[in-house]
């Protein structure tokens, strides 16, 4: 291959990379950003889209070039050049992808650390799932709590969500927040399940909690309303809600399900 | 009639199945009555009389079929086995032999391929029903519970009784020929492996008849949803045992065959890459498959015997199900992909008329993939609530596994470089199409490997898109490439290339149209495994459904082409692609014992363009000296009888 062909192929790869990457990064694939975590995750996604576009462009250009250039003429039954390999090239396409994916790993690790950092003033909310409904419980300083079937939260303050399931595995997801975590049923001792997830809503509006772990025939419609409101509005909403006295043994915040609730949910699940 | 039921065959197998079921059912009833319990138990996680009955029915079926006849005689100390009986069960003399217990690897290969394609069309029909339901938001044609059973069965059927075994079928046919062996190392075990497969498939399909409907906890069957699900779940637990046992026995067979039965001169660096691929796959199967077999038994025991593996209120641990399940099921992704890599290497090298670029690195990349694939399973569990720090090492290994996979893609492209590329074979179209679609699946896989992105898109339609780019754009494309490539060898006839091309282009367009938009709606907020969805996704889903119907219809063209060409296609000749590997040196279809004389291997498998280079020589050595292109085809007559 001549130097000029090589340059033309490289140019084609660059052009195709730009053609794919520019529109792909302009579209907000993940939809509305409504948490302070969302922006970092979407930026990571966009960086990956650019790198992926390059890799995909390399494959498409080389494939297209070979089909165009080396397609056998009708009747040509001879063999191609007996090239068995090229050590330099093979080392290159081992090392370069390794560097790219390790960059991706370190970048992801940094983003993960950032989005999971706990804020000092985080608002604790206990989230309880059961077939097929959500319950949100706000512990109050005086030992009482507020229970609601919609998640009303103040804007701009980190939420410290404690997740519990009463029957099978469910999963808490608000697409606009980009945050998801399974709610795992656990017995005494909790089986070392990481049941805390943090997110900082920063955009006023109404969203949905979507259950994303198959939990039975009602899985598709297992949703709850999320309202992100200004913090003074949240305070007045909370003040207006009826108080519930927590039962013994549930004050730790890691579990909102009272013992009697456990026996209501069928431990084996199923319809 | 009575005589027919005494001979090994499907008649006696049906009788054996019935007697086996009666025995198992009766045993449970009698034991229950002796213990003072009601005769039957019909709690939804129970039905011991049916479960035991189904297990004994399966063994009764296999015994009736004749799978154990030889071993029973041998165990009973019978001195010899009548030779005429032995040879009767080896090789196909008429179409009826394909419906019997047969020890010829070529018959078994075709039995595998035809059976698995039956399940491919059943699983595909389920997908069509699901896409019809999903064409609009709301509930139209199936209830949400039935919908859950449909996608669970679709996945279980496609994975356990289509993709994994169809590769075993293709390799069964081709691999012994490729290494110059007269058959597999253990022909009877090979036949038994095949006949366990329809049992698994029947259990998956038959679960829809169970009280409470088919299994509906997904093919992943996460506890505790599965431990409390209706009876259909037990059908899944049992089906996986038979599919798994079949897989493990076949993998052992491949390993022993590849290691001990290579023709003289066939050292490991002369093995065709399809053989390397099946060697790697088999290493994965024998070590990983026992984990899914074990975990499905644990679920069955929780359901039936009140063990507490996953009953959280009784000290069980829900998350451990996922760890054990994925410790198999991630390597399973490579079990479903590596044989396809092998097929693509054969097809590309043959139709590009060039040696595979970087042959040794290609083989080593396979080994790299199998080693890494054991260290990545928990990337399916980034949002599961597992030990948080475990996400980091699992992310790094997951991303690193893209490196050996990338090596393979780049090496195939480099193989095309400087080639004499022929696009006349549909096999080559599917192999080149695979490079594009599988690259997309690999790219989305790298994105999913990154924890922050995975947190957002896991359990959404993005996952559905990714898995289908890998399993359809990856595995199924290579399966089609393999079927088209070896169809002339297996049947002796040529398929219709024009219909093949139509099949390829419709499949490619249907596939892209179906699965590309799924990425978008997943990222925007549509969860997977839902019968109903938010109205905002209605237009996209309608479009996806339309393309999926195109995709489904295209497969009917394939079916028509295969059936008609098998019967009426023009004769193909021994080596229509002018390939170099050994299976093309014998007649099409090959004689019953493959070779009159064991071939001698004298060079690498892909020495296209190297003057005077040969891979293998058939027939007496002196006859071949100096012959550039000897007429070896005629030397393979009928095998010894």
Give the tens place of pLDDT for each residue, B293-320: 999 999 999 999 999 999 888 888 999 9
Residue B635 confidence (pLDDT) above 50: no
Q: What percent of chain B has pLDDT over 70?
A: 95
**Nearest CB to B608 within list A52, A80, A181:** A80
| A110 interfaces chain B, CB cutoff of 8 Å | no
Cα dihedral B332→B408→B350→B502 (10° resolution): 70
Burial of B81 (0-12, 13-18, 19+ CB in 10 A): exposed
Number of structural domains found in chain A: 2
Contact (Cβ atoms closer than 8 angstroms) between residue A207 and residue A226: yes
Q: Cβ of A45 under 8 Å from any chain B Cβ? A: yes
**Looking at the predicted structure, is the pLDDT value of residue B633 above 50?**
no
Maximum mean pLDDT: which of A186-200, B32-46, B499-513: B499-513
Given pLDDT bands bounded at 50, 70 and 90, which one contains residue A36?
Answer: very high
CA-wise closest residue to B23 among B66, B70, B61? B61
Q: Report cis status (omega within 30 of 0) of the bond before A132.
A: yes
Q: How crowded is residue A227: how many other Cβ atoms within 10 Å of its Cβ?
A: 17
Using a CB–CB cutoff of 8 Å, tell me whether A111 touches chain B.
yes
**Whole-number percent of chain A with pLDDT over 70:** 89
Residue A113 at interface with chain B, using a CB cutoff of 8 Å: no
For residue B122, what pLDDT is reported? 97
pLDDT in tens, B588-632: 999 988 998 889 999 999 999 999 889 999 876 544 444 444 444
The answer on pLDDT for B428 being more than 90 is: yes
**Are residues A164 and A42 both part of a single domain?**
no
E strand or H helix that includes residue B362: helix B359-373
Between the CA of residue B195 and those of B103, B204, B245, what are the distances in Å? 11, 15, 11
Q: What is the token pair recorded at B597?
A: 């004389």
Asked whether residue A205 is domain-assigned, the answer is yes
Cβ separation A41–B436 shorter than 8 A: no
Q: Which of B402, B527, B607 sits opposite A101 (nearest CB)?
A: B402
SS3 state at A123 = strand
Domain coordinates in residue numbering, chain B:
2-76, 102-568
Band of the pLDDT at B78, cuts 50, 70, 90? confident
At A52-76, the pLDDT tens digits run 999 999 999 999 999 999 999 988 8
Instruction: Say how many CA atoms lie within 13 Å of B514 toward its Cβ.
Output: 28
- Inter-chain residue contact B532 with A184, CB threshold 8 Å: no
For residues A32 and A164, membership in a common domain is answered with no
Contacts of B419 in chain A (CB under 8 A): 66, 70, 80-81
Distance in angstroms (rounded) separating the CA atoms of residues B483 and B490: 9
Give the pLDDT of residue B86: 61
Is B75 an interface residue toward A (CB < 8 Å)?
no
SS3 for B195-212, per residue?
HHHHHHHHHHHHHHHCCC
- Residue B503 pLDDT > 90, yes or no? yes
DSSP conformational letter for A71: B
* B423 contacts A219? CB cut-off 8 A: no
Predicted local distance difference test score (pLDDT) of residue B227:
93
pLDDT at B351 over 60: yes
Which of A:145-184 have CB within 8 Å of B? Answer: 163, 167-169, 171, 173, 175-176, 178-184
In a domain, A50, yes or no: yes
HEC per residue, B374-422: CCCHHHHHCCCCCCHHHHHHHHHHHHHCHHHHHHHHHHHHHHHCCCCEC
Within a domain: A46: yes
Order of strands, sheet of A223-229, starting from the edge strand that comes earlier in the sequence: A151-154, A223-229, A205-211, A170-174, A179-183
User: Are A61 and A96 in a shared domain?
Assistant: yes
Task: Please answer whether residues B29 and B49 qualify as being in contact, where contact means their C-beta atoms are separated by less than 8 angstroms.
Answer: yes
Query: What DSSP element (H or E) covers A174?
Result: strand A170-174
Q: How far apart are CA B264 and CA B474, in angstroms?
A: 34
- What is the average pLDDT score of chain B? 92
Of A115, A150, A182, the position where a domain reaches its end is A115
Q: Which of A99, A115, A131 is the last residue of a domain?
A: A115
pLDDT confidence of residue B618: 86
The pLDDT of residue B81 is 64
Q: Is A106 found in the same domain as A8?
A: yes
Which residue of B lies nearest to A40 if distances are taken between CA atoms? B452
A187 domain residue, yes or no: yes
Q: What is the pLDDT of residue B628?
A: 43
CATH hierarchy code of domain B102-568: 1.20.210.10
Question: Within a domain: residue A75?
Answer: no
DSSP assignment letter at B471? I
Helix (H, G, I), strand (E, B) or coil at A28: coil
What is the pLDDT at residue A225? Answer: 96
Q: What pLDDT does residue B314 have?
A: 85
**Location of structure tokens 């994965």:** B284
Do A103 and A164 belong together in one domain? no
pLDDT at A261: 32
Same domain, A178 and A258: yes
Note whether A180 and A219 are same-domain residues.
yes
Per the CB < 8 Å rule, is A83 touching B532?
no
Q: Is the pLDDT of residue B571 over 50?
A: yes
Asked if pLDDT for residue B19 goes beyond 50, the answer is yes
Looking at residue B627, its pLDDT comes to 43
Q: Does A67 touch chain B (CB under 8 A)?
A: yes
Q: Which of B216, B411, B422 sits opposite A72 (nearest CB)?
A: B422
Do residue A184 and residue A152 come from a single domain? yes
Q: Would the CA dihedral through A48, A51, A57, A60 be positive or negative?
A: negative
Q: What CATH number corresponds to the domain at position A228?
A: 2.60.40.420
Same domain (yes/no): A153, A109: no
- Separation between Cα atoms, residue A21 and residue B343, nearest integer Å: 32
Residues A111 and A127 in one domain: no
Question: Would you say residue A251 lies in a domain?
Answer: yes
pLDDT of A257 above 70: no
Q: Quick: pLDDT tens for B361-398.
A: 999 999 999 999 999 999 999 999 999 999 999 999 99
pLDDT tens track for A118-137: 999 999 999 999 999 999 99
Q: Give residue-wise pLDDT tens across range A232-254.
A: 999 999 999 988 876 544 434 43
CB A174 within 8 A of CB A186: no
The chain A residue lying nearest B579, using CA atoms, is: A79
Structural domain boundaries enclosing A53: 3-68+88-115
CB neighbour list of residue B266: distance below 8 Å, 6 or more residues apart: B179, B180, B601, B616
Distance CA B491, CA B480 (A): 16
Q: Which of B318, B530, B534 comes nearest A191 by C-beta? A: B318
Distances (CA, A) of A130 to A163, A168, A261, B144: 11, 7, 10, 18
| A114: alpha, beta or left? (left if phi > 0; alpha if psi -120 to 50) | alpha
How far apart, in whole angstroms, are the C-alpha atoms of residue B634 and residue B641? 18
Do A135 and A239 fall into the same domain? yes
pLDDT at B1: 67
> Which residues of A fall within a CB distance of 8 Å from B421?
66-67, 70-72
| Average pLDDT of the residues in B455-464 | 96
Read off the pLDDT of each residue in A92-99 and give the average, rounded to a whole number. 94
Q: How many CA atoms lie within 13 Å of A215's alpha carbon, on the beta-carbon side?
A: 32
Share of chain B above pLDDT 90, in %: 84
Mutation for testing the B interface, residue in A28, A114, A187, A257 having most B CBs under 10 Å:
A187
- pLDDT tens figures, B234-287: 999 999 999 999 999 999 999 999 999 999 999 999 999 999 999 999 999 999
Q: What ipTM describes this predicted complex?
A: 0.89
**B137 in the Ramachandran plot: left (φ > 0), alpha (ψ -120 to 50) or beta?**
beta
Q: What is the per-residue pLDDT for A249?
A: 42
> Residues A97, A160: one domain?
no
Whether residue B640 is predicted with pLDDT greater than 70 in this model: the reply is: no
What number of H helices and E strands is found in chain A?
A: 5, 11
Position A129 in a domain: yes
Handedness of CA B128, B134, B140, B144 (dihedral sign): positive
| Range list of H helices, B39-94 | 48-65, 69-75, 83-88
């Amino acid at each position: 291959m001549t130097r000029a062909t090589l340059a033309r192929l490289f140019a084609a790869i660059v052009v195709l990379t730009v053609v794919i990457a520019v529109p792909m990064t302009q579209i907000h694939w993940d939809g509305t950003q409504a948490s302070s975590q969302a922006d970092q995750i979407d930026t990571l996604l966009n960086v990956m889209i650019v790198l992926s576009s390059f890799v995909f462009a390399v494959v498409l250009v080389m494939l297209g070039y070979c089909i165009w250039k080396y397609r056998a003429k009708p009747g040509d039954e001879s063999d191609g050049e007996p090239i068995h390999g090229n050590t330099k090239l093979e080392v290159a396409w081992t090392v370069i992808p390794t560097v790219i994916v390790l960059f991706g790993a370190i970048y992801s690790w940094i983003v993960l650390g950032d989005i999971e950092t706990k804020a000092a003033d985080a608002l604790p909310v206990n989230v309880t799932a059961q077939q097929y409904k959500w319950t949100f419980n706000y512990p109050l300083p005086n030992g009482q709590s507020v229970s609601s079937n919609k998640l009303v939260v103040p804007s701009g303050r980190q939420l410290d969500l404690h997740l519990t399931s009463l029957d099978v595995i469910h999963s808490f997801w608000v697409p606009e927040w980009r945050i998801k975590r399974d709610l795992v049923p656990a017995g005494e001792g909790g089986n070392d399940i990481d049941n805390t997830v943090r997110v900082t809503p920063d955009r006023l509006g109404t969203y949905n909690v979507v259950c994303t772990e198959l939990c039975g025939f009602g899985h598709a419609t297992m949703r709850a309303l999320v309202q992100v409101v200004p913090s003074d509005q949240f305070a007045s909403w909370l003040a207006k809600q009826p108080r519930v006295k927590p039962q013994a043994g549930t004050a730790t915040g890691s579990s909102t399900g009272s013992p009697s609730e456990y026996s209501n949910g069928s431990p084996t699940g199923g319809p | 009639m009575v005589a027919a039921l005494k001979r090994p065959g499907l008649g006696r197998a049906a009788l054996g199945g019935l007697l086996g079921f009666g025995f198992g059912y009766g045993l449970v009833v009698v034991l229950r009555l002796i213990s003072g319990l009601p005769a039957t138990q019909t709690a939804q996680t129970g039905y011991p009389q049916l479960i035991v009955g189904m297990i004994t029915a399966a063994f009764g079926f296999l015994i009736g079929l004749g799978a154990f006849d030889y071993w029973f005689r041998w165990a009973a100390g019978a001195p010899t086995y009548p030779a005429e009986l032995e040879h009767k069960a080896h090789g196909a003399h008429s179409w009826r032999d394909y419906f019997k217990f047969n020890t010829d690897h070529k018959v078994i290969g075709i039995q595998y391929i035809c059976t698995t394609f039956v399940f491919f069309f059943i699983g595909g029909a389920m997908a069509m029903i699901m896409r019809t339901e999903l064409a609009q938001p709301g509930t139209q044609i199936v209830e949400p519970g039935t919908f859950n059973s449909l996608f669970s069965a679709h996945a279980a059927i496609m994975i356990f009784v289509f993709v994994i075994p169809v590769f075993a079928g293709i390799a069964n046919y081709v691999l012994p020929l490729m290494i110059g062996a007269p058959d597999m190392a253990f022909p009877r075990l090979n036949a038994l492996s095949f006949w366990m497969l329809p049992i698994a498939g029947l259990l998956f399909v038959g679960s829809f008849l169970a009280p409470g409907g088919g299994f509906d906890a997904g093919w992943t069957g996460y506890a505790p949803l599965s431990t409390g699900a209706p009876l259909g779940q037990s059908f899944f637990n049992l089906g996986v045992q038979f599919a798994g046992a079949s897989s493990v026995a076949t993998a052992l067979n491949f390993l022993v065959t590849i290691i001990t039965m290579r023709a003289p001169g066939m050292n490991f660096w002369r093995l065709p890459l399809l053989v390397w691929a099946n060697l790697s796959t088999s290493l994965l199967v024998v070590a990983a498959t026992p984990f899914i077999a074990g975990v499905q038994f644990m679920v069955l025991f929780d359901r039936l015997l009140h063990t507490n593996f996953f009953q959280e209120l009784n000290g069980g641990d829900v998350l451990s199900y996922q760890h054990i399940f994925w410790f198999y099921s991630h390597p399973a992704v490579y079990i479903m992909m590596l044989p396809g890599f092998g097929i693509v290497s054969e097809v590309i090298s043959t139709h590009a008329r060039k040696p595979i670029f970087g042959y040794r690195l290609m083989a080593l990349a396979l080994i790299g993939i199998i080693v890494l694939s054991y260290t990545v399973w928990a990337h399916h569990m980034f949002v599961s609530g597992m030990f948080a720090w475990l996400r980091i090492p699992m992310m790094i290994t997951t991303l690193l596994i893209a490196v050996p996979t990338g090596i393979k893609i780049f090496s195939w492209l480099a193989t095309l470089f400087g080639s004499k590329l022929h696009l006349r074979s549909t096999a080559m179209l599917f192999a080149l199409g695979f490079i594009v679609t599988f690259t997309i699946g690999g790219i989305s896989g790298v994105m999913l490997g990154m924890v922050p992105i995975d947190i957002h898109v896991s359990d959404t339609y993005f996952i559905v898109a990714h898995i289908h780019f890998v399993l359809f754009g990856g595995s199924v494309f290579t399966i089609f490439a393999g079927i088209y490539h070896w169809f002339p060898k297996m049947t002796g006839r040529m398929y219709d290339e024009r219909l093949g091309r139509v099949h390829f282009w419709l499949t490619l367009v249907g596939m892209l149209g179906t699965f590309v938009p799924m990425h978008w709606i997943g990222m925007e907020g549509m969860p997977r495994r839902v019968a109903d969805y938010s109205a905002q996704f209605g237009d996209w889903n309608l479009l996806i459904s339309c393309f999926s119907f195109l995709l489904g219809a295209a497969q009917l063209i394939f079916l028509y082409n295969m059936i008609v060409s098998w019967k009426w296609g023009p004769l193909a000749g021994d080596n229509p692609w002018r390939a170099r590997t050994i299976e093309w040196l014998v007649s099409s279809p090959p004689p019953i014992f493959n070779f009159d004389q064991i071939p001698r291997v004298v060079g690498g498998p892909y020495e296209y363009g190297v003057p005077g280079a040969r891979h293998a020589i058939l027939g007496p050595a002196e006859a071949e000296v100096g012959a550039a292109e000897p007429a070896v085809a005629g030397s393979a007559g009928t095998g010894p009888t």
